[in-house]
């Protein structure tokens, strides 16, 4: 038994510096933003467009000088809009939606400068739960909770960050690509978010 445990103990001892280095490069924080969302329903001449505030709790690991892994969890406020049905109908359709349980996993390339500024860009995967409610001429007629299967949606990310010893401030832009293509009777869904993030480095 001791002979079997020896290789395991040696491996653990060898990996300890790498694990400690990753833990020392960990950071966490919060992100507050403005979330813009648009989608189109079948039979409508235009799109629903709206925006709401959003937040994320974030955690990341700066694995190398030029690469980090980040994860986030958050939600948006309520997005509202109205649209008219295609002629000759005069009906007005009301739309409300909220995104909950937004889980994001992101790979992030970083380009640091000597003055504390860093530029970054990356691609990530996200999943979420979405609440949708529709009304016809002011009367509610449909509500549903929908969510994609797994992490089948992509997000493209750009940011600029300034670092101090233990804290960092980041301004970012994220473009969402809804790979599922349709939510209920909606097609062509699109979203983007501009956010300000505050991070504390361990």
- Joined together, the tokens standing for residue 52 give 């709401």
Please tell me the predicted confidence (pLDDT) of residue 181. 45
CB atoms within 10 A of CB 155: 21
- Joined together, the tokens standing for residue 141 give 């007629």
Query: What torsion do the CA atoms of 146, 152, 158, 163 make, to the nearest 10 degrees?
Result: 90
Distance CA(9)–CA(12), nearest Å, equals 5
CB atoms within 10 A of CB 44: 19
Per-10-residue mean pLDDT for the chain, 202 residues long?
A: 47 47 77 92 72 96 94 95 72 86 94 95 91 84 76 88 96 84 61 96 90
Please tell me the predicted confidence (pLDDT) of residue 182. 46
Distance CA(74)–CA(30), nearest Å, equals 9
Please tell me the predicted confidence (pLDDT) of residue 47. 78
Please tell me the predicted confidence (pLDDT) of residue 189. 79
Distance CA(46)–CA(21), nearest Å, equals 52
Please tell me the predicted confidence (pLDDT) of residue 5. 46
């Amino acid at each position: 038994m001791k002979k079997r445990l020896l290789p395991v103990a040696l491996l653990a001892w060898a990996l300890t510096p790498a694990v400690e280095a990753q833990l020392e490069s960990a950071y966490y924080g919060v992100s507050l933003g403005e979330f813009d969302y648009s989608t189109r329903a079948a039979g409508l001449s235009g799109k629903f467009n709206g925006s709401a505030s959003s937040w994320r709790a974030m955690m990341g690991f700066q694995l190398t000088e030029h690469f980090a892994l980040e994860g986030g969890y958050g939600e948006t406020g309520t997005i509202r809009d109205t649209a008219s049905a295609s002629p000759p109908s005069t009906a007005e359709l009301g739309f409300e939606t909220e995104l909950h349980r937004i889980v994001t996993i992101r790979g992030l390339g970083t380009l640091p400068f000597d003055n504390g500024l860093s530029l970054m860009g990356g691609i990530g995967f996200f999943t979420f739960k979405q609440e949708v409610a529709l009304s016809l001429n002011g009367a509610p007629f449909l509500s549903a909770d929908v969510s994609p299967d797994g992490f089948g949606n992509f997000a493209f990310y750009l940011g600029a960050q300034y670092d101090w010893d233990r804290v960092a401030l980041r301004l970012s832009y994220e473009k969402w690509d809804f790979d599922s293509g349709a939510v209920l009777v909606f097609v062509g869904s699109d979203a983007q978010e501009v956010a300000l993030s505050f991070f504390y480095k361990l």
